[in-house]
Amino acid sequence: KAGVTQTPRYLIKTRGQQVTLSCSPISGHRSVSWYQQTPGQGLQFLFEYFSETQRNKGNFPGRFSGRQFSNSRSEMNVSTLELGDSALYLCASSPGTPNSGEKLFFGSGTQLSVL
């Protein structure tokens, strides 16, 4: 069974640009969540989706948005990039509903560098 797939693996952008990251969950998994990981802050929760609906959102500005499609694939978008957005963006999936105490399956992440 294929794991969680994130594309692209690496991305370099300049300030002010926007970026879209993609995540394909494990087949059959319906919940997808996104995290930002930086050396100083660790993993910070961005948002979580289930059945194409955002079920939870972290404390990030409105420049960060996401969506989930009917096949459970998810995308996140960051507009008007800032230098501080440089980070590893991780996607995770789980089989059931959010907040059900299930473990998360993570992808390898997208490393975003903003110059």
Partner 1 sequence: EDQVTQSPEALRLQEGESSSLNCSYTVSGLRGLFWYRQDPGKGPEFLFTLYSAGEEKEKERLKATLTKKESFLHITAPKPEDSATYLCAVEPGGYQKVTFGTGTKLQVIP
Q: Which is nearer to partner 1, 15 or 22 (CB)?
A: 22
Q: Which is nearer to partner 1, 80 or 113 (CB)?
A: 113
Residue among 2, 28, 41, 70 that touches partner 1 (CB under 8 A): 41
Spell out the residues 6+ positions from residue 38 whose beta carbon is closer than 8 angstroms to its own.
44, 86, 87, 88
Residue among 16, 18, 43, 113 that touches partner 1 (CB under 8 A): 43
Number of CB atoms found within 10 A of residue 101's CB: 6
Least Å distance, CB 81 to partner 1, is: 22
Residue 74: C-alpha distances to residues 36, 39, 42, 48 (Å): 15, 25, 22, 10
Query: Does 2 interact with partner 1 (rule: CB under 8 A)?
Result: no
Residue 28: C-alpha distances to residues 72, 96, 100 (Å): 8, 9, 16
Residue among 24, 31, 33, 74 that touches partner 1 (CB under 8 A): 33
User: Where on the chain is the footprint of partner 1 (CB under 8 A)?
Assistant: 4, 33, 35, 41-45, 48, 55-56, 58, 90, 92, 98-99, 101, 103-109
